[in-house]
Chains A and B, each alone.
Chain A
């Protein structure tokens, strides 16, 4: 049995189906990205998982126990940060740690956790949370999500408001905790960050799961591309299209879809044939953002 399982879970608000027969699972130690456009049902799904919202059909189980609205005994080993950090303005960072540690069955070492999440410095100290910046609050929110020594951490936009160094620190922290067996379910609009972080991906659109699997498999579905920059991109594009290749201009480069017959060598040869100077050439998979948009554009559930 998986650590977290959603089996055919549905939730409607009037005639609107926020979750429509949603099924997916999260295994221990895996980092799962839950992605989709605004209003797709990501937050609703996270609320159902954390026992904050009722659902009309199906079942959510965590650690072998059912999670239902107002029946949340199984949540002792789940941490969450949903939408924005839950912070008491007159508490210090340490007050928050002490407060949330009180009801933990087996809580993390507070000093160690504060150090790990970077909320132990002089910037925090005796300052009250109402004086924290957004990034400081976000770090505190992540520390709160980890205080129970959770088996699963549900994070909604965890990188929100963080500076690049903090994003890197939090990414490293999540990866190191995942290696210790803690599972993460993360939703974020920072798709490049999720691409680096997540092992698995679950795509939700209009309340339905439209794709799930490993991140590498998902990215592998996307078209491999050759991005070439020359001294005359318009001429390069014309040459590629005349050759019957699928190509388009993007920013200041020509993007050519890689196939069995089209590779970087042939593109270079074509450029030479037309006396073009190649200043840069790159090959690679489509990124998460591009492939997600492609998947969403062809999704039949989209209106």
Chain B
């Protein structure tokens, strides 16, 4: 498995040029936060990594799509599968790589955000720049937890369509449209209460969760149960999503 991860890392660096994304998410908050964000919205800007949040969302669609579908596009899937490793090992090595890339980009964006904040303080003073790091890190954790679902969708589409373009497009659309679709599905719950357990509403619930008492109460009222049940259902959806994606990857003749 270590060898497979080393190979995936080499492809991430040399073929997919993940460092370009890393540089981007690091530099954007350093430029945006001190120069373009007014004092009264500084704390809001930190939550979106000074504009890098949207880049991370796009990278969260592009990188998994490339990691899986480029192997079909370039024909490299043949030597990849015609080896002493099982398809499960290959799938897991790719999955670990894309999750690691996602977490790494968030960590780098966080570092850029903190540096941007320090530059802002140096330029304008520390007024309205306070951060509750507990809440901040919890929000980052939820970002990763929510991102795992979108990455799963992209991986599923990559394996079905064998096309980077289709997977990237759907991933980007999903990252933008999920809140809209979730709002629609939330509206439809009025007509049938069971509909609230659909994956998009569950994803929205997970992403909304910020560990505050008020949010916990709101989500409890909406779902009619404790948050742990919502997380459990979310975990089941993830297992199904990745299970189907692997099943397609495992059966594919190339």
Contacts and interface: CB of A to CB of B under 8 A. Distances in A.
Interface of A: 47, 50-54, 69-76, 78, 80, 82-91, 95, 98-100, 102-103, 105, 144
Given A86-B75, A91-B14, A99-B10, A52 B4 contact: no
Q: Which of B7, B79, B82, B87 has the most CB of A within 10 A?
A: B79
Given A47-B253, A91-B14, A103-B84, A144 B79 contact: yes
Contact of B84 (A54, A69, A73, A88): A73
B82 A103 contact: no
B35 interface: no
A74 B86 CA distance: 11
A88 B253 contact: no
A102 B7 contact: yes
Contacts of A50: 78, 82
A103 B4 contact: yes
Interface SS majority for chain A: loop
A89 B15 contact: yes
A86 B81 CA distance: 12
A89 B3 contact: no
A73 B86 CA distance: 8
B70 to A, nearest CB: 8
Nearest to A80: B82
B11 interface: yes
A121 B242 CA distance: 44
B133 interface: no
B250 interface: yes
B82 A51 contact: yes
Given A73-B84, A87-B74, A88-B74, A100 B79 contact: yes
A243 B26 CA distance: 91
A52 B84 contact: no
Given A70-B87, A75-B83, A52 B10 contact: no
B130 interface: no
Interface of B: 3-4, 6-7, 10-11, 14-15, 17, 74-87, 250, 253-254
B93 to A, nearest CB: 11
Contacts of B254: 47, 52-53
B76 A86 contact: yes
A53 B15 contact: no
Contact of A84 (B75, B85, B253): B75
Contacts of A69: 253
B10 A72 contact: no
A72 B87 CA distance: 9
Contacts of A84: 75
B74 A86 contact: yes
Q: Is the interface of B mostly helix, strand, loop or mixed?
A: helix
Query: What are the 5 tightest A-B residue pairs by CB atom distance, in nearest-first order?
Result: A76-B84, A86-B76, A50-B82, A53-B253, A90-B15
Nearest to A50: B82
Given A52-B253, A52-B254, A89-B74, A103 B3 contact: yes
B83 A76 contact: yes
Contacts of B74: 86-89
A73 B17 CA distance: 31
Nearest to A49: B82
A69 to B, nearest CB: 8
A62 B78 CA distance: 18
A278 to B, nearest CB: 53
A69 B84 CA distance: 12
A72 B7 contact: no
A44 to B, nearest CB: 9
A102 B84 CA distance: 12
Given A87-B76, A102-B10, 15 more contacts: A47-B254, A50-B78, A52-B82, A70-B250, A75-B82, A80-B78, A86-B75, A86-B78, A88-B74, A88-B76, A90-B14, A90-B17, A95-B10, A95-B14, A103-B3
Nearest to B16: A90
25 contacts: A47-B253, A53-B254, A54-B253, A72-B81, A74-B84, A75-B82, A86-B77, A87-B74, A87-B75, A88-B15, A88-B76, A89-B15, A90-B15, A90-B17, A91-B14, A95-B14, A98-B10, A99-B10, A99-B11, A100-B79, A102-B7, A103-B84, A103-B85, A105-B84, A144-B79
